[in-house]
Amino acid sequence: MTVPPSPAAGRRRVVVWTHTGRPAASQAASRFIAAVAARGIECLVRPEARDDLAARTGGAALRDLTTPLPPGVEVVVVFGGDGSILRAAEWALDADIPLLGVNLGHVGFLAELEVAQADELVDRVVERDYALERRLTVAVEVFAPGAQTPIWRSFAINEVSVEKDSRQMMIEVLASVDQLPVSRWACDGVLVATPTGSTAYAFSAGGPVLWPDLEAFLLVPLSAHALFNRAMVLAPESVVWLDLFSHVPAVLSCDGARAVALEPGSRIEVRRGCHDLTMARLAVQPFTSRLVKKFALPVEGWRGGGREQR
């Protein structure tokens, strides 16, 4: 982790990103905006959320989130679940601004705080009392059969998924790592996931949990009809090729949001993204504690009511 640099002279600003369809998110965001505005910090909000937040904050200093950004933007504070945090992360990644999530969802692995800790959040943002943590991302390119130039490209913070687009049939995928074939699967699909995404789709598919600061990513077959159908942990410099051999319609999706249809014979290339995502960490809840809490993992022994076992 690194400590954020001292703020430059001039107006301080933060971006406030909310789940516009959830009143609880708007309420929490408006309280935060009013508190930091009273301490001289201007808040930038998405235009579609501005009227609602302005009405709730009684005239606090609000500014539309536009491009290019004004100077002095320090952090993006997100009020919502992991879906909202992922959508904000798409924007924050390109702008290279730290992201700090406040959980109003269910699991909330990407969030740093729960909404009940809002008072602490205000003080931490005002004092810039947080550390910066870099998270690996992946870049993906799609090549038409025989083509040398990609026809589609994107990025992912959680995972890239290649999946069948028909319930009746499986797709056939040859997975290669660094140009060497690893396995050819008849399957429902294949995931390439980051450590951040290891507790999302990849976890549901039976992949291992990776600590988010680990530099690696996962290759996970989905319901593969094969003897070897295990998830693999790859080096961060590895390049993955996924070649489609079947004539079954398939679709590629990045973080469940950006998608493209795949024709038979397509090649998907996945590698480490050139930009890491920066997360603002308050160090109040290590990932180990978050993992135990979110999955309700048993940490007390069945003998002795939790006494230390030898």
Question: With contact defined as beta carbons under 8 Å apart, do 166 and 249 qualify?
Answer: yes
pLDDT of residue 304: 56
Catalytic residue among 51, 52, 82, 255: 82
pLDDT of residue 310: 46
Cα 104–110–115 angle (5° rounding)? 30
**Region for 10 from its dihedrals, namely left if φ exceeds 0, alpha if ψ lies in -120 to 50, beta otherwise:** left
The pLDDT tens digits of the residues spanning 105-159 come to 666 678 777 777 777 899 999 999 999 999 999 999 999 999 999 999 999 999 9
CATH class of 138-272: mainly beta
CATH class of 12-135+277-294: alpha beta
**Total Cβ atoms within 10 A of residue 127:** 9
Cα separation, 185 vs 222, whole angstroms = 9
Return the DSSP state at 147: -
pLDDT of residue 9: 58
**Region for 96 from its dihedrals, namely left if φ exceeds 0, alpha if ψ lies in -120 to 50, beta otherwise:** left
Cα separation, 34 vs 53, whole angstroms = 10
pLDDT of residue 275: 92
Rg (the chain; Cα; Å): 22
The amino acid that residue 282 corresponds to is L
Q: Is 119 a catalytic residue?
A: no
Block mean pLDDT (10 aa), the chain, length 310: 63 90 86 92 90 82 84 92 88 91 75 77 93 94 95 96 89 97 96 95 95 95 91 97 93 95 96 94 79 84 55
Q: Where are the domains of the chain?
A: 12-135+277-294, 138-272
